[in-house]
Amino acid sequence: MRTAVKGAGAARKAHGVDATGKSRNLARLKRIEGQLRGIQKMVEEDRYCTDILTQISAAHEALRSVGRELMKNHLKHCATAALKGTEAQAEAMHEELLELMYKHAR
C-alpha cells in the first residue's frame, strides 16, 4: 500500500526552474490546448472515430513529452536539493519519487 506524500497537491514551489525549459513547456502546453480544442470540434462535427482517436493519441504523447521534461527538471533540481538536505528531506523525496514512478508507470 502506498502512502500519500506529505505536502502533495499543496502549492509548493520548484527549486531551480530552468527558464528556457519553462518557456518550451508553456509553448507545448498551448499547442496541446489547441489540439484538445480541435478534438472537441471533431467530436462536435461527428468526425470519423479513428481520426479522433489518432488525434487523442497525439495529444496524449505531447502531454507525456511535457511530463518527461518536468521529471528531468524535478530530478535535476528539486530532488537533488532534497537529497542534499536533512535525512528527513531525503526520505520524503525518496517516497515522492517512488510515488511518481508508481503513478507514471501505469
Crossing angle of the two packed helices 87-104 and 49-73, in degrees rounded to 10: 170
| Single pTM value for the model | 0.77
Question: Residue 68: which of 100, 27, 20, 34 has the closest Cα?
Answer: 100
Backbone angles phi, psi at 11, to 5 degrees: -80, 85
List per-residue pLDDT tens for the chain, 106 residues long: 334 445 555 677 877 778 898 999 999 999 999 999 999 999 999 999 999 999 999 999 999 999 999 999 999 988 999 999 999 999 999 999 999 989 887 7
Q: Say which amino acid occupies 78.
A: C
Superfamily of domain 19-104: Metal-sensitive repressor, helix protomer (1.20.58.1000)
